[in-house]
């Protein structure tokens, strides 16, 4: 699987959980690697690219969570 497709899967997972459950980085790594059969390091790299680009953000509320940034 190429990296762009993996980034879309990670973004879709976070998008689908918005308003229902806050996801931690480990939640995303476990879910995507189990569902897609991809190494956690590859998922982590894709997640890091999404955060670096500002597509996803880390938030802190009693723990670190990954969310879609609020619309301005």
Going by C-alpha positions, the residue among 72, 71, 4, 6 that lies closest to residue 38 is 6
Average pLDDT (43-63) is 93
pLDDT for the residue numbered 1: 77
Domains and CATH numbers, the chain: 3-67 (1.10.10.10)
Question: How confident is the model over 1-24, as pLDDT tens digits?
Answer: 788 999 999 999 999 999 899 999
Prediction pTM value: 0.90
Q: Which residue has the tokens 């689908």?
A: 16
Determine which helix (DSSP H) or strand (DSSP E) holds 67, and give its type and residue range.
Answer: strand 64-67
Question: How confident is the model over 25-40, as pLDDT tens digits?
Answer: 999 999 999 998 899 9
């Amino acid at each position: 699987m190429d990296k762009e497709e993996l980034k879309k899967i990670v973004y879709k997972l976070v998008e689908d959980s918005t308003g229902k459950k806050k996801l931690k980085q480990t939640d995303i790594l476990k879910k995507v690697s189990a569902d897609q059969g991809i190494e956690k390091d590859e998922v982590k790299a894709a997640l890091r690219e999404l955060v670096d680009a500002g597509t996803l953000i880390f938030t802190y509320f009693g723990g670190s969570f990954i969310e879609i940034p609020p619309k301005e």
